[in-house]
Amino acid sequence: MALKRDLLLVGGGRLATALLSLITIRAVTTFLTPAQYGVLALLLAVQMFCGLFLVNPIGQHINLHTHAWWDEGSLMARLKQYRLYVFAVSLVGGAVVFCMVKQQTNEQLLWTSVAMFVAVVAGTWNATLIPMLNMLGFRAASVLWSIITVTTGLVCAISFVMWWPYATAWFAGQAVGMGIGALGAKYVLRQHAQRINAAEDSVSLIDRRTVLSYCLPLAFATGLMWLQLSGYRFLIEGYWGLAQLGFMAVGLQLAGQISALAESLAMQFLYPLFYRRVSAHEEHDEVVSAFSDLLNTLVPVYFVLTGLIVLIAPYLLKLLVAAQFQNAIAFVMLGAGIELCRVLGNLLSNAAHVRRKTKSLALPYAAGAVTSLILIFIAGVWQREMIWVGAALISGAVAMLLVMLISMYRQVKFRLDVVRCFIGGAIMLAMMLLVAWMPVADGWQVAIGYSLGAATFAAVTVAALLLKNPATHRLLNVQLRKN
């Protein structure tokens, strides 16, 4: 009963958040021109730099120890020490924007820097505390504040951009939403933490050895990951301009939003169970079993989802973006492939986290970043069309995934369910081939009808793959909190 309730909470919450996020795409493409959307893409790249390179290594350390610190009652005391670090990272983000952004007056530049500072603070705490509620089993509160974050961010962003029609205004509105969600999650977490014996204030968040052996190698790896996922945007802006960057970013973001929904569902529902299962068995065979179960649950699902995105790409653009962006079909399809490699790479990278060997993540992300950037640079020098950039990005994503697969297998000898993975891959290819026979999206009715039909088929397929999957059942038989 508790399992069904949790699944309904997480699934329903993520569905609501996803719908709001899709409405957000429609709104932002309506209010911003392609050039201003290009500026927004650069601002998001800076925010992602702060998140991936500077915050994520400490955040992953917190994730790995959340259950143990909660059990001993020291979690809130340790998080107090996190505040100064987040503040310092936010100053870095504001300074980077101040030195980077062009074509703005001094006053606009100041407001953009302030917006970046607030976005990094709010985004970091939002991405820390709301998932933490979920990891500790407070799923209803996690879902509630996730929805409040997206809703408030959308309302504030629209209000700000109607007053000042620039990317900075939209970015600031989203930051306000993340801040409100973070404050709400902090309140709920503190209310529950009061029931546990308070820990001594002398406990530390992290020690020097962990910084050197875990966080710095992870920061190097995630910095390379940032280069592959976002750093290329500055090359595009330099060679093709902001308008072309904005046009491409919309197509890639649309594919990214849908794959992020599936990944977020997995992270909210399955990752807490996985981390609890491996938290006390870092060197035990249980790690191999738990990691294999996580892969065999999610890999077939990601295959089917990728096929769905490619199949309904024209209909998604018809429904979810403004008319000026609706020719980005090729970028949505390429984005689906890029996102498949990204989510599979993230899934495999869990092996490095549980083994505390994050330096092994550097090589896969280096392979992806170097491949993508070199190919984009060549395309820019040769003045090729933007589709070459998409091809460069998917080439880099494939290179990253192949190196990641080999590197992670050396650390955890996982066992794949070949039959289910093959079925998922075959369905993905079949859906991709069907694209040539799908009717043109010449109206809302056609777009909605075919999208719902394809989504229903994909949902039934995923349910069939998971229903009697022993790997999924083993993951679900995990208790998050001690009684």
Per-residue pLDDT tens over the stretch 225-264:
898 888 899 999 889 998 899 989 999 989 998 888 888 8
- Ranking 13-27, 52-66, 86-100 by mean pLDDT, the lowest is 13-27
Nearest to 225 by CA among 57, 21, 414: 57
State pTM to two decimals: 0.84
Which of the four pLDDT bands, split at 50, 70 and 90, describes residue 480?
low
SS3 253: helix
Average pLDDT, the chain: 87
pLDDT for residue 401 is more than 70: yes
Helix axis angle for 34-49 and 232-239, nearest 10°, is: 150
d(CA 108, CA 6): 45
Supply the Cα-derived Rg of the chain in whole angstroms: 22
Q: What is the pLDDT of residue 280?
A: 56
Nearest to 247 by CA among 449, 467, 88, 37: 37
**Helix/strand/coil percent split, the chain, to 5:** 85, 0, 15
pLDDT for residue 267 is more than 90: no
More confident residue, 351 or 8: 351
d(CA 27, CA 155): 10
SS3 254: helix
Per-residue pLDDT tens over the stretch 165-197:
899 999 999 999 999 999 999 999 988 875 555
d(CA 316, CA 309): 8
Q: What is the pLDDT of residue 265?
A: 78
Question: CB of 250 within 8 A of CB of 325?
Answer: yes
Q: What is the pLDDT of residue 65?
A: 85
Token digits of residue 45: 């790249």
SS3 113: helix
User: What's the angle, vertex CA 404, arms to CA 340 and CA 395, rounded to 5?
Assistant: 55
Nearest to 158 by CA among 136, 131, 177: 177
pLDDT for residue 199 is more than 50: no
Segment 49-59 mean pLDDT: 90
Per-residue pLDDT tens over the stretch 294-341:
999 999 999 999 999 999 999 999 888 888 888 888 999 999 999 999
pLDDT for residue 372 is more than 60: yes
pLDDT for residue 4 is more than 80: no
Positive or negative: CA dihedral 308, 342, 321, 119: positive
Question: CB of 218 within 8 A of CB of 52?
Answer: no
With a pLDDT cut of 90, the percent of the chain lying above it is 46
With a pLDDT cut of 70, the percent of the chain lying above it is 92
Q: What is the pLDDT of residue 422?
A: 95
CB neighbours of residue 209 within 10 Å: 8
